[in-house]
Chains A and B, each alone.
Chain A
Amino acid sequence: MNFQDLMPVLYDFTWKDFVMIAVGLTLIFLAIKKEYEPTLLLPMGFGAILVNIPFTSALTQIDPVTGKAIEGALSVFFEAGIATEVFPLLIFVAIGAMIDFSPLFKNPFLLLFGAAAQFGIFFTMFAATLLGFPLHEAASIGIIGAADGPTSIFVASRFAPELLGPISVAAYSYMALVPIIQPPVIKAITTRKERLIRMEAQKKIVSRTALILFPITVTIIAGIIAPSSLALIGFLMFGNLIRECGVLNKLSLAAQNELASLVTILLGITIASTMTADRFVRLDTLMIIGLGLVAFVFDTFGGVMFAKLINVFLPKGKKINPMIGACGISAFPMSARVIHSMGLKEDKSNFLLMHAVSTNVGGQIGSVVAGGLILSLVPLFI
């Protein structure tokens, strides 16, 4: 017996495995040191190391003696939780339980910015097809622009499970980088005069009945118009109903805390099972990371330009601060905070937070609707 028989792993390492281990270490560094979405990036980073050591038992391997498959835990988790879309849907229950829709009732018009700021999704999908990606992969890449990790995972697991790793890394990394990505884009397309626009504060109390009826009504309407989107929207609204009903406080807290934490751990490390060197160390990965940035930039562009367009028709004194449009993405409450602090930088007495939060909540609905529409539309064209 020679040394190679004793330590086969050492002889089976390739440079690509080392690249992936470096990627894993980078994700762990970003999660711990920079606190970039640590709940997802840390499990994904560790998982990337776990699955790129040759002969890892975390993934299903073929026994060289018997020729039979030996199931690996992460492969089992993937089949059970990602391929079936169960993990992202459970995350939606948790997110639904965390969302307070009452800011939308104060100014429902701001919902429209949750539509405009999804522009990056479709622009990026179009750009990806120009780069040669097939339609189902382009749609999965475009959905990075939803700025919503679970929606990205849900759509990618349906259309392009082989791209799940890079799409998830891009989605969560750029969500963490919203404070760096959005301000320069907003400044480039707005004037100082526009950024100084003040908006009237909305003071309104919303009834409990209204907050209970909203998730039920939205689910029924979404189901009638686009049944393919029903799982996505329905689980989100189910979580919200648990929160708002007022008789399931224990379940609401469990969904917001225990369920969210447990599924996030499983989701992160399971996605890493797709981050093997042969799938990840490719030119496609770099293109996906680049297109993800394009998606976030054009989301911001779409939201801000829509606000500028609306302002053309609004009378003086009723105009909307166009920076608010950028909050129509799903990165909550990060985007609202960014816009609020940008407003304060321009004018220390201009408080945009309430409007920004309302728009940001609209963005959470908009991103899920966009995901549902992509799921409904793309199969019609393949």
Chain B
Amino acid sequence: MIDYSIVNSALLISGIGMVGIFVFMMIFYFVIKLIDKFFPAK
């Protein structure tokens, strides 16, 4: 017996989760760019 409220929750978590990971990675991307800009290797 499938509980569709759980399935819906899983789908919602999946959507938010995937977007969340991309947001985190984009932030880390800009962190790396900024750190690299202000503290370049000499």
Contact A138 B10 (CB under 8 A): yes
Size of interface on A: residues with Cβ below 8 Å to B: 48
Interface of B is mostly: helix
**Are A115 and B24 CB-contacts (below 8 A) given A123-B14, A210-B35, A381-B13?**
yes
Tell me the minimal C-beta distance from A152 to chain B in angstroms: 16
**Are A125 and B26 CB-contacts (below 8 A) given A130-B7, A206-B36, A207-B39?**
no
Contact A112 B31 (CB under 8 A): no
Tell me the minimal C-beta distance from A100 to chain B in angstroms: 14
Q: A138, A226, A369, A381: which contacts B25 (Cβ < 8 A)?
A: A369
Which of chain A's residues have a CB closer than 8 A to the CB of B22?
Answer: 112, 115-116
Which of chain B's residues have a CB closer than 8 A to the CB of A132?
Answer: 1-3
Contact B36 A115 (CB under 8 A): no
Contact A126 B18 (CB under 8 A): no
Task: Tell me the complex Cα distance, A226–B27, Å.
Answer: 13
Q: Does A213 contact B (CB under 8 A)?
A: yes
A114 — nearest CB in chain B belongs to which residue? B25
B residues 1-42 touching A (CB-CB < 8 Å): 1-3, 6-7, 9-14, 16-18, 20-22, 24-29, 31-33, 35-36, 39-42
Q: Does A249 contact B (CB under 8 A)?
A: no
Q: A108, A129, A377: which contacts B29 (Cβ < 8 A)?
A: A108
B15 — nearest CB in chain A belongs to which residue? A122
Contact A373 B36 (CB under 8 A): no
Q: Does A104 contact B (CB under 8 A)?
A: yes
Chain A 100-123 per-residue mask, 1 if CB under 8 angstroms from chain B, else 0: 000011001101101110110111
Contact B35 A214 (CB under 8 A): yes
Contact B40 A207 (CB under 8 A): yes
Q: B2, B24, B29, B39: which contacts A369 (Cβ < 8 A)?
A: B24
Q: A119, A210, A222, A362: which contacts B18 (Cβ < 8 A)?
A: A119
Contact A111 B28 (CB under 8 A): yes
Task: Tell me the complex Cα distance, A381–B2, Å.
Answer: 17
Which of chain B's residues have a CB closer than 8 A to the CB of A257?
Answer: none
Task: Tell me the complex Cα distance, A104–B25, Å.
Answer: 12
Q: Does A309 contact B (CB under 8 A)?
A: no
Contact B25 A373 (CB under 8 A): no
Contact A111 B36 (CB under 8 A): no
Contact A112 B13 (CB under 8 A): no
Contact A218 B17 (CB under 8 A): no
Tell me the minimal C-beta distance from A350 to chain B in angstroms: 26
Tell me the minimal C-beta distance from A66 to chain B in angstroms: 44
Tell me the minimal C-beta distance from A360 to chain B in angstroms: 14
Tell me the minimal C-beta distance from A347 to chain B in angstroms: 29
Which of chain B's residues have a CB closer than 8 A to the CB of A217?
Answer: 31, 35
Task: Tell me the complex Cα distance, A65–B16, Å.
Answer: 55
Contact A115 B25 (CB under 8 A): yes
Tell me the minimal C-beta distance from A102 to chain B in angstroms: 10
Q: B3, B10, B29, B35: which contacts A125 (Cβ < 8 A)?
A: B10
Add 4 more A-B contacts to A218-B28, A365-B28, A373-B20 (CB < 8 A): A130-B2, A205-B41, A221-B28, A378-B13
Interface residues of A (CB under 8 A from B): 104-105, 108-109, 111-112, 114-116, 118-119, 121-123, 125-126, 128-130, 132, 134-135, 138-139, 204-207, 209-210, 213-214, 217-218, 221-222, 225-226, 362, 365-366, 369-370, 373-374, 377-378, 381
6 CB-based A-B contacts, threshold 8 Å: A112-B26, A130-B2, A130-B7, A132-B3, A134-B6, A373-B21
The 8 lowest CB-CB distance pairs between A and B, nearest first, are: A122-B14, A205-B41, A381-B9, A115-B21, A129-B10, A209-B39, A108-B32, A207-B41
